[in-house]
Amino acid sequence: MYDPAVVSYGDLLKVFWENHDPAQGMRQGNDHGTQYRSAIYPTTPEQEQEANASLKQFQQAMRTAGDERTITTEIAAAKPFYYAEDEHQQYLHKNPYGYCGIGGIGVCLPPQA
């Protein structure tokens, strides 16, 4: 559960951008489908504004690093949350040698001004 008293939304966004590939469309690594898309679902207008600003900053950081791909991350208002199927819950705990397609692209989100 997200608690802004523990971590700022900006810090959460930094971890989000730096730890996956936001330009792969409906996939991450070898996993394909809508459930693998890059997405941010803000719960307040302020979060949505901050998410959109961070997308623009990360897109610029990618270009500065020589990555000309376009970010495909969806940013849309949060809707009801549904837990993933049991096979996806704690997947790497259940499958210690399982595949994980999540990994950053070596680009960092610049510090907030």
pLDDT in tens, 14-38: 999 999 999 998 888 788 888 889 9
On average, the pLDDT of the chain sits at: 92
Q: Which domains does the chain have, with CATH numbers?
A: 9-94 (3.30.1060.10)
User: What pLDDT is recorded for position 46?
Assistant: 98
Give the span between the Cα atoms of 101 and 110, in whole angstroms. 24
User: Which is more confidently placed, 81 or 6?
Assistant: 6
pTM for the structure as a whole: 0.86
pLDDT tens figures, 99-108: 887 789 999 9
Region 48-64: mean pLDDT is 98
Rounded CA separation 30/79 (Å): 27
Over range 79-99, report the average pLDDT: 89
Amino acid at 113: A
**How would you write 58-82 as a 3-class SS string?**
HHHHHHHCCCCCCCCCEECCCCCCC
